[in-house]
Amino acid sequence: MRLSPDEMIFWQYGLFKLNGTIVFTWALMFVLAVGSKLITRKLSTGLECSRWQSLLEIVVTGIEKQIEDVGLRHPEKYIGFLGTLFLFVALASLCTIIPGYEPPTGSLSTTAALALCVLVAVPFFGIKEQGLGGYLKSYVEPTVIMLPFNIISELSRTLALAVRLFGNMMSGTMILAILLTITPFIFPIAMSVLGLLTGMVQAYIFSILAAVYIASATRVRKPTPEPDVKR
Amino acid sequence: MDSITLIAIASIVTAGLTIALGSIGPALGEGRAVATALSSLAQQPDSATTITRTLFVGLAMIESIAIYCFVVSMILIFANPFWNHIIAQAAGK
């Protein structure tokens, strides 16, 4: 009963192990990077554009609108990070259709790495927006007594992000494996459809929560007059 | 009752109890959340997208409690450190 793709070893050389998580992560990175590069080689700004370019435009404008709805003005500053989070987790769970594939997010290492990226990104964007003093002052709001609680909430938010994604992905693959030994044929197909749905929802949740944390860190304390761009 | 039997019984019973009790709370919470969201959707259908998005985010946060309980019971069944330790001890003897 395999608990995670960490236990699928493809190649081993002494201490250096090439396990399923690493190989599938590389495959996903390859598909995303090479696919996007091929599609954006000849971008057209006219009315005629290839269907792949339309697909990418739908994805990018959709994510931009979602980031703006959360409350982050100028979504182009954050779409690189947040869009990559969403696309990686969504593609990782979408590819479970392919036989022999295990989602790398079903291993706690991958989800912990993604959650650590969010943990680093939140102060990074906060300091970029408000300066070091302004960001650090947000930790002692509303009173100085709240300082340890604010720090604990930062760390527990990161832990919750990692465990939530890991638990959802791992439970999906494990339930599928158990069902395949009990009732092959019809019921595992229904469960794998449910697994796809929860995978997409968890990808959306992960990136929206990251956006909400970044928004709360870059929230301007004193309202500055800024021309409101109506979309 | 030797320690191998005791560890096995404790792990199995705890795994079952963890997931049984741990899914009651989140299920009730999610039911209340969806019910309130539906009634506010009926009152203000114009803000449907905001309400739906907030509902999904809230449901994910509530769901993560049930996921924690599930992870604990999976660890107890499949990656139990006490069981591995006692089995390694018994095999080494």
Q: Where are the domains of chain A?
A: 5-34+50-217
Task: Please report which confidence band the pLDDT of residue A231 belongs to, taking 50, 70 and 90 as the band edges.
Answer: low
Instruction: Extract the tokens encoding B20.
Output: 């049984």
Q: Is A208's Cβ below 8 Å from some Cβ in B?
A: yes
Q: Is A55's Cβ below 8 Å from some Cβ in B?
A: no
Neighbours of B26 (CB within 10 A): 19
Does position A75 have pLDDT exceeding 60, yes or no? yes
Q: Is B52's Cβ below 8 Å from some Cβ in A?
A: no
A-chain residues near B56 (CB < 8 A): 201, 204-205, 208
So what's the pLDDT on residue B35?
Answer: 96
Q: Is A168's Cβ below 8 Å from some Cβ in B?
A: yes
Looking at the complex, report in whole angstroms how far the Cα of residue A115 sits from the nearest Cα belonging to chain B.
Answer: 15
Contact B67 A174 (CB under 8 A): no
Nearest to A3 among B56, B60, B78 (CB): B78
Q: Is A175's Cβ below 8 Å from some Cβ in B?
A: no
Contact A212 B67 (CB under 8 A): no
User: Mean pLDDT over residues A203-207, rounded?
Assistant: 93
- Lowest-confidence pick of A5-14, A35-44, A132-141, B61-70: A5-14
Nearest to B60 among A163, A171, A205 (CB): A205
Does position A194 have pLDDT exceeding 80, yes or no? yes
Q: Which residues contact B70 (CB under 8 A, 6 or more apart)?
A: A167, A171, B19, B22
Cα–Cα distance between A97 and A99 in angstroms, integer?
A: 6
Q: Is B48's Cβ below 8 Å from some Cβ in A?
A: no
Neighbours of A101 (CB within 10 A): 15
pTM of structure: 0.86
If we measure between CA atoms, which residue out of B32, B28, B10, B23 comes closest to residue B77?
B10
Contact A69 B78 (CB under 8 A): no
The string of pLDDT tens digits covering residues B66-81 is 988 988 998 899 889 9
Nearest to A1 among B50, B56, B78 (CB): B78
Looking at the complex, report in whole angstroms how far the Cα of residue A67 sits from the nearest Cα belonging to chain B.
Answer: 12
Task: Please report which confidence band the pLDDT of residue B56 belongs to, taking 50, 70 and 90 as the band edges.
Answer: confident
Task: Please report which confidence band the pLDDT of residue A226 belongs to, taking 50, 70 and 90 as the band edges.
Answer: low
In a 13 Å sphere around the CA of A77, the CA atoms on its Cβ side amount to 15
Query: Do A166 and A105 touch, CB atoms closer than 8 A?
Result: yes
Question: What sign does the dihedral A8-A11-A15-A16 (CA atoms) show?
Answer: negative
The string of pLDDT tens digits covering residues B13-52 is 999 999 999 999 999 999 999 999 999 999 999 999 889 8
Instruction: Extract the tokens encoding A159.
Output: 């832990």
Does position A222 have pLDDT exceeding 70, yes or no? no
Instruction: Extract the tokens encoding A110.
Output: 């991958």
Burial class (CB in 10 A: 0-12, 13-18, 19+), A104: buried
**Residue position matching structure tokens 């527990």:** A156
**Residue position matching structure tokens 């990018």:** A60
Q: Is B42's Cβ below 8 Å from some Cβ in A?
A: no
A-chain residues near B63 (CB < 8 A): 164
So what's the pLDDT on residue A223?
Answer: 56
Q: Which residues contact A210 (CB under 8 A, 6 or more apart)?
A: A81, A82, A85, A118, A121, A161
So what's the pLDDT on residue A73?
Answer: 86
| More confident site: A122 or A220 | A122
So what's the pLDDT on residue A1?
Answer: 57
Task: Please report which confidence band the pLDDT of residue A7 belongs to, taking 50, 70 and 90 as the band edges.
Answer: confident
Q: Is A200's Cβ below 8 Å from some Cβ in B?
A: no
If we measure between CA atoms, which residue out of A1, A24, B35 comes closest to residue A10?
A24
User: Mean pLDDT over residues A68-85, rounded?
Assistant: 90
Query: Do A87 and A32 touch, CB atoms closer than 8 A?
Result: yes
Supply the CATH classification number for the domain B23-84.
1.20.20.10
Task: Please report which confidence band the pLDDT of residue A123 belongs to, taking 50, 70 and 90 as the band edges.
Answer: very high
Task: Please report which confidence band the pLDDT of residue A8 belongs to, taking 50, 70 and 90 as the band edges.
Answer: confident
Does position A3 have pLDDT exceeding 80, yes or no? no
